[in-house]
Structure 1
Amino acid sequence: MGEQLRFKVLGPLAVTAGEAGVPLGGARQRAILALLLVTPGRVVPVDTMVDTVWNSNPPPTSRTQVAICVAALRKIFKSAGATDDVIVTSHPGYVLNTESHRFDSLDFTDLVQTAEQCAKEGRLPEAAQNYAQALDLWRGPAFSGVSGQLIEDEAARLEEHRLNAYDDSTLVHLELGQHQELIPELAAMVREHPLRERIRHHLMLAQYRSGRRADAMETYRDARTQFIDELGIEPGPDLNELHDAILRDDPSLAPVAPAVERRPAQPGQAAQAPAPALAVPSELPPDVPAFTGRTEELAALESLVSAEAEDRGSTIGLITGAAGIGKSGLAMRWAFRAVEHFPDGQLFADLRGYDEHHEPVSAHDVLSRFLRSLGVPGEQVPTDLEERVSLYRSLLTDRRVLIVLDNARTYAQVRPLLPGGGQCCVLVTSRDQMEELVTWPSQARVHLGLLSEPEAVELLTAIVGERRIATVRADAARLVELCDRLPLALRIAAARLASKPHWTVRYLVTRLSDERRRLDELSQGESQVRASLALSYRYLPEEAARLFRRLGLLDVPDFTAWVGAALLNKEALDAERLIEDLVDAQFLEVVSIDPTGQLRYRFHGLVRLYARERARQEESEPDRLAASTRFLRTFLTIAEEADRRENAGSGTGVHSGVQRRRIDSGLLDELLAVPLEWYEAERLALVASVRQAARMGEAELAWDLTVCASIFFGTRNYSEDCRRCCEDALEAARTAGDLRGQGAMRYLLGSLELGHSRLENGIAHFMEALRLYEEAQEDHGKAMVMRSIGTSERMRGELDSAMERFAEALPIFRDVGDRYCEAHTLHNMAETELDRGRPESAMQFAVDAVRIAERDADSTRVLAQAVHRLGRVHLALGQLPAAEEAFLRAVRIVKEKSDMIGLAYALLGLGETRLGKGDAEAAETTLADALDIAEDCRIPLVAGQISLVLGDVSSRLGRVDAARRHLRAAQEKFAVVGASALEQRAEQALGALVG
């Protein structure tokens, strides 16, 4: 029996196998799985999936893409250990198999039903336990992170079941006498769901039984006001009856267990001091000049003074963000806009949580000043912290005061400064997320990101002046990017320009373009970017600081936790914890969750420069080199394993002697559940790392990493990425005198030219690669080059010479055990025999190619190619059923691998076969899908071949205009790639059509 999967929808969509999470891939795959989980065990039509994924506006290839997503999910579940078919095809769509797997939504239903039965039978402790287990299954809103009307409807249904279960659970706890324990949670639930009468009823009963009769009455009055204002109706009979019963102290409301006695006030407490004369403080510092942007954030903070907020009592807002992002500026701008809502004054304190010259200010000292500001004479300010807090909260109870707490470092600084009730508002700014601080309203928790480019240019213009910026918009845009669109850096740069009217914007851009000087340029005067970053850096734990420095050594645009593990030589989970420390300190930001399910992180530019600066100053050169090399070796190790899992490690041929790193197999399985998705996620990082390795003089790492990624680049049509890597690695190999590396890169460059039908350029690269491999005595590489020269010669029509090249390469591949290239060479020989007009001779080569490719289950790419070639042979021999079977098999293989180029070729063959069988309409549908894919992948040669056949199809269907349109499109595409023979065929077909 295989691994049992557990599907979780009560929160973010997730799947686990045992204790391990199963990566689900991208948004489309998650949406399709969510649809299957809405009704597990029931068929979900493909049309429903298409409408949900593309919001009723699907592309022409949508059904094909749904099939690809389902195939990817099946592979993921298989890799996770499931041996049965988790997703079963069932007309008109797919169904999720429920027999062998667990579903948290079904577990929730079962536990609630058990709890209900226990409650009926009077087994209250068991009922409470089952309700608790059911509610503990919830990790957040159901299906969070997945959109679509059907999914959202199901999420709403599940949420209603959760709330009903919570209500029933609360009733059980009340019957068990747990009144006081319930009050805080019930109060929070009332704030979250103010119109649910049962929750209000439970809160009133718990308050009354806890001896808080007045609070129960206030809860009722709040409910009545809200119901009348929002719904225009009175509360229901249950709330009214409970209200009347509380008024008459009805014995039926008596608590099951005695309420705990409240402690009387102790003599000498500050609350007993004479009430001071009240003052109206106005302590806000000046507003920030030239404030720009932050429209959405200001709107979110407006919820602090909304009509709803005024009816609910004190409000709390929190502004978080990185150093220099503009937290204090936003707080001041909003505070001045909101002053009229706080007639009893405004208090302000800079808590100096991140100050180079001072320790953080204590709540004890802040309270001393606040009490004096509120009118308490100095001699009446208590010395004890608790007494100060009591007096402060007593003074604020019936007042409307705005309290701004700037630069808080910890929640401990803030907590004593929060009012106990009344109509006050607290606004906190911090670099820390302060998870303990519960903001209300919830939207008043605001996290600041960078300014948009227009906002950043607007800030620059406001300080420097429209005249100097209006005529140099391009330079201004470049300047704000060099400043990372960070308000602090922008203000420094703008101030320098404003103070130096003889400087142009371009001149400052030139000064900032030098990375070695940029932080110096932006760290002059009182406002300094470097000093601002240093204050946060100073408080990092030692290991987090080391990781911060080493991450700055890398050129990658973003990264996941395995990168940190490589830099520190630690386990990935340890590195992830340290990375999250850096996120909390606002040094890193989370970019996204990539298709492998990993969180991706990145630096902003100035932060990266600071990290690199700290590394140069605090890490020795050997340590820096060792960390960078360890990262590159880890990257190469994972890339090679991804290539092995995707292509059996074959087809890439020559590799370097760089020692691979040992990597935990569980981590590899997590990253490489779908190898091509890992490559997709790491594509930009891979290109940057090849360049970095080349610049470091690590030629072998540079060219071997390129070799491992070459099939991915080809499959996904990332030819420019491949070219860039080849050229960087080739230069490094030349400098190092590495003949094998030069040969490998020349071979890949030739393959790129060949793929774009630039035969002469490709052959020139191949001939140079052949010379290099011969000089290095590298037979495997020589065989790969000869095979590619043979392919080029076949494309030029030199068929005899091509067969000689293939025949020369074939035994070498057999000697070195490269089955991938052996099968590839054989199906090339089959294609050459077809070009010679010898389909009977081609058949044996095609059959042998398929047989060899089938020996290795991982060699699916070459298997698809070989099966496709076999289909071509059957088609040439007029064996149409066999041809159709072969092309359908090729389609299934490439769909599973998301090989879109291969899919275009396979559908082309399938369309030609259906046309040969006389089914022109089926052929047209198939070829239309093929054309969409070919054009999406930007492969004009294939698109031209498909258009050529579509011209024939349209002609047979009597659609002359459509046929003419397809044939002209084919002509244009063949002209682009220089395929003159095919262009001539299209021209002849057009002539015949006109005739």
Structure 2
Amino acid sequence: MRACGCSPGGVDAWLASHRRIALLDRTPPAGLLPSPALGARPGRPSPPAGRAAPGTALPSQLPSVPGAFTGREAELRALDRVTTGADGVGLVVVTGAPGIGKTSFALRYAHQVAERYADGHLHLDLRGHSRAPALRPIEALARLTRSLGDEAWRAPATEEEAAARYRSLLADRKVLLLLDNAASAEQVRPLLPGTPHGLTLVTSRRRLSGLLIWEGAHRIRLGVLPADDARRLLARLLGTRRVAAAPEQTQALISACAGLPLALRIAATQLADEPWRPLADYVAELRGHGLAALSLNDERRTVSSIFDLSYRKLDAVTRRVFRLLGLVPSRDITVDAVAAISGTTPATARGLLRSLTEAHLLDEHAPGQYRFHDLLRQYARQLAELEDPADARAEARERLSAWLYRTPTAAG
């Protein structure tokens, strides 16, 4: 009160009011004990503001880690360093391409450190890339608030009021919060605790750079699985003997799946259902049919359907360029090549590439050099054949060929 410029009389009045309120049903905090003349009642001290009362069930909402989680040791160590180091980062964003295993990774770490957060573990799917509508912040706040024990929840008039109530419940609590599948920084920001006691993990297919700029988040980006980790994953799912008996075919399977954890799991599941089938035969089918072969009875869990959720979030112009890039014959893609095949200027092409890398549908692996992984390239090419007329595809190829002819060094 004094630091805010309140007069001595105002401070005294505030303290007197505080004492009266504190006497209603609990012992007031140390240092503000009323005089015996006020008739203080002895009693058990109440928990700090926001902390759950003794006997209240603590939230424990973390789903289990998917079976046979393999690899990511370097990323897990990096995450632990930033959350336990001297600076103690309390907000971490886990990003990566569709099917890369962001949720599995976040769950693995959350379970690994759960005992550090004695006041509970919250989990919420924000549906940022889902067939259902993305969860609105005020809806997410209602769910989180109820999870923290506020059974008397009544929807406040505004999102700001709901966020303030939520932060009050989290005050002085040491809680682990996992916000999965976020659509944007704007969706996440109202859900962040106001105190640094706990840890918030956010997973998203987007970079969420705004959280790094304004909220001081740390970002962990997941790439495709290295070959050794992919081989270990297949060994766990198919059995060590089957994998060891066909090392070359195993490596070919990893390459055909582009090291994508989701694709490797689907392939391993299909092979496990056919224990007699040689790996070489399955790899031949995969190379011949591509993404169509990586499907199960659950249509929502195919590799193509997972890619669809990101593709459909793009605007029409960016979707068109994504499809056309599937027609580029070279592995690397440059800004000028994108401008040529799409019939735009380099400045426009650069903005479109930025949108695709933001969505992790394209990777800038070197300055000015962009690349798909092989399954995304197949997906883009299939979309071009389905959605773009044959003459439009032919014109795009002609523009690219003309540019390559005028720029011989680009062909290299």
Aligned to 1:477: 251
CA distance in 1: counterparts of 2:251 and 2:362, whole angstroms: 24
Distance apart, 1:293 and its partner CA: 1.1
Counterpart amino acid of residue 330 in structure 2: V
State the partner residue of 1:413. Answer: 187
In 1, Cα distance between the equivalents of 2:399 and 2:232? Answer: 44
Q: Tell me how far 1:523 sits from its aligned partner.
A: 2.5
Which residue identity lines up with residue 627 of structure 1 in the other structure?
A
Deviations 1:857-878 (A, max 9, x none): xxxxxxxxxxxxxxxxxxxxxx
Please tell me whether the aligned partners of residues 400 and 424 of structure 1 are also in contact (alpha carbons under 8 angstroms).
yes
Give, as a single letter, the amino acid of the residue that structure 2 aligns with 1:500. E
Q: CA deviation at 1:279?
A: 4.0
The secondary structure found in structure 1 opposite 2:401 is helix
TM value normalised by structure 1: 0.35
SS at the partner of 2:178? Answer: strand
Q: Kindly tell me: are residues 351 and 388 of structure 1, through their superposed partners in 2, closer, same or farther at Cα, counting changes over 3 Å?
A: same
CA contact (8 A) 2:50 2:169 kept: no
How far the C-alpha of 1:478 sits from its partner, in A, is 0.5
Name 1:629's counterpart in structure 2.
Answer: 398
Distance 1:443 1:397 in 2: 20
Residue identity opposite 1:407 in structure 2 = N
Looking at structure 2, the residues matched to 579 and 274 of structure 1 have their Cα atoms a distance apart, in angstroms, of 45
1:294 is the counterpart of 2:294: no
Partner of 2:115: 340
Pair 625,440 (structure 1): closer, same or farther in 2 beyond 3 Å: closer
Give 1:862's aligned residue.
Answer: none
1:153-187: CA deviations, max 9, x gaps?
xxxxxxxxxxxxxxxxxxxxxxxxxxxxxxxxxxx
Q: What are the within-5 Å matches in structure 2 for residues 313-332 of structure 1?
A: 315-332=90-107
327, 338, 351: which is aligned to 2:126?
351
User: Which residue of structure 2 lines up, in the alignment, with residue 851 of structure 1?
Assistant: none
Which of 138, 141, 159 pairs up with 1:367?
141
Is the Cα–Cα contact under 8 Å of residues 304 and 316 in structure 1 kept in the other structure?
no
Q: Contact conserved, 1:456 with 1:480, CA < 8 A, in 2? A: yes
SS of equivalent residue, structure 1 residue 438: helix
Whichever residue aligns with residue 106 of structure 2, its letter is A
For 2:295 and 2:344, the matched residues in 1 are separated by: 35
**Higher relative contact order (Cα pairs below 8 Å, separated by 6+ residues):** 2
Shift of 1:580: 1.2
1:824-861 C-alpha deviation (Å, 9 max, x unpaired): xxxxxxxxxxxxxxxxxxxxxxxxxxxxxxxxxxxxxx
Structure 2 CA distance for partners of 1:561 and 1:424, relative to 1, 3 Å: same
Q: Does 1:591 find its partner at 2:369?
A: no
Task: Indicate which of 366, 373, 380 corresponds to 1:604.
Answer: 373
2-structure distance, mates of 1:354, 1:341? 30
Structure that is richer in helix per residue: 1
Contact 1:305 1:338 in 2 (8 A): no
**What residue in structure 1 maps to residue 59 of structure 2?**
281
| 1:383 Cα offset (Å) | 5.5
Are residues 211 and 407 of structure 1, via their aligned partners in 2, closer, same or farther at CA, if it must alter by over 3 Å?
farther
What residue is the counterpart of 1:574 in the other structure? 348
Q: Which residue of 2 aligns with 1:525?
A: 297
Aligned to 1:436, what secondary structure does the other structure show? helix
Cα–Cα, structure 1 residues 274 and 436, in superposed 2: closer, same or farther, change >3 Å?
closer
Deviation at 1:431, TM superposition (A): 0.8
In structure 2, how many angstroms separate the alpha carbons of the residues matched to 1:600 and 1:274? 50
2:361 counterpart SS class: coil
Q: Counterpart of 2:236?
A: 462
Residue number in structure 1 paired with 2:382: 613
1:503/1:454 CA distance change after superposition, 3 Å: same
Equivalences for residues 852-867 of structure 1 within 5 A: none
Shift of the 394–503 alpha-carbon distance from structure 1 to 2, 3 Å rule, reads same
Instruction: Judge conservation of contact 2:50–2:172 (CA < 8 Å) in 1.
Output: no
Q: Distance in 2 between matches of 1:338 and 1:628?
A: 52
> TM-score normalized by structure 2?
0.84
Q: Which amino acid aligns with 2:271?
A: L
Contact 2:181 2:205 in 1 (8 A): yes
The alpha-carbon deviation at position 380 of structure 1 amounts to: 5.4
2:394 maps to amino acid: L
For residues 4 and 302 of structure 2, what CA distance do their matches in structure 1 show? Answer: 55
Q: Note the alpha carbon deviations across 1:870-899, whole angstroms, 9 max, x for none.
A: xxxxxxxxxxxxxxxxxxxxxxxxxxxxxx
Give the counterpart letter for 2:212 in structure 1: V
Residue 422 of structure 1: how far off its partner (Å)? 4.0
**1:608 partner letter:** R
Q: Distance in 1 between matches of 2:116 and 2:376?
A: 39
Residue 210 of structure 1 deviates from its aligned partner by: 7.2
Partner of 1:539: 313
Counterpart position of 2:46: none
Change (3 A) 1:571 1:381: closer
Match for 1:293: what amino acid? G
Q: Over aligned residue pairs, what C-alpha RMSD do you find?
A: 2.3
State the alpha-carbon separation in 2 of the partners of residues 494 and 307 from structure 1.
38
CA drift at 1:444: 3.7
Deviation (angstroms), 1:303: 2.9
1:524 to partner: Cα distance: 2.3
Distance 1:436 1:589, change over 3 A: same
Return the letter of the residue paired with 2:71.
Answer: G
Checking the alignment, whether the CA contact within 8 Å between 1:303 and 1:444 is kept in structure 2 is no
AA in 2 matched with 1:329: S
> What is the rounded CA distance, in whole Å, between the counterparts of 1:585 and 1:307 in structure 2?
30
Greater shift, 438-447 or 459-468, is seen at 438-447
1:501 deviates by 1.2
**How far is 1:209 from its partner?**
8.3
Alignment of 1:969-988 (within 5 A): none
TM-fit CA distance, 1:308: 2.4
CA distance in 1, matches of 2:332, 2:145: 49
| Cα distance change of structure 1 residues 441 and 333 upon mapping to structure 2, 3 Å threshold | farther
Give how far 1:211 is off: 5.7
* Superposition map of 1:812-827 within 5 A: none
- 1:565 counterpart = 2:334: no
Question: Structure 2: which 5+ residue stretches go unaligned?
Answer: 7-48
**1:433 aligned to 207, 218, 227, which one?**
207
Q: 1:589 to 1:307 in 2, by over 3 A?
A: closer
Query: Any gaps of 5 or more consecutive residues in structure 1?
Result: 1-207, 213-272, 594-598, 640-678, 687-995
Letter in 2 for 1:299: R
1:493 offset after TM fit, Å?
A: 0.4
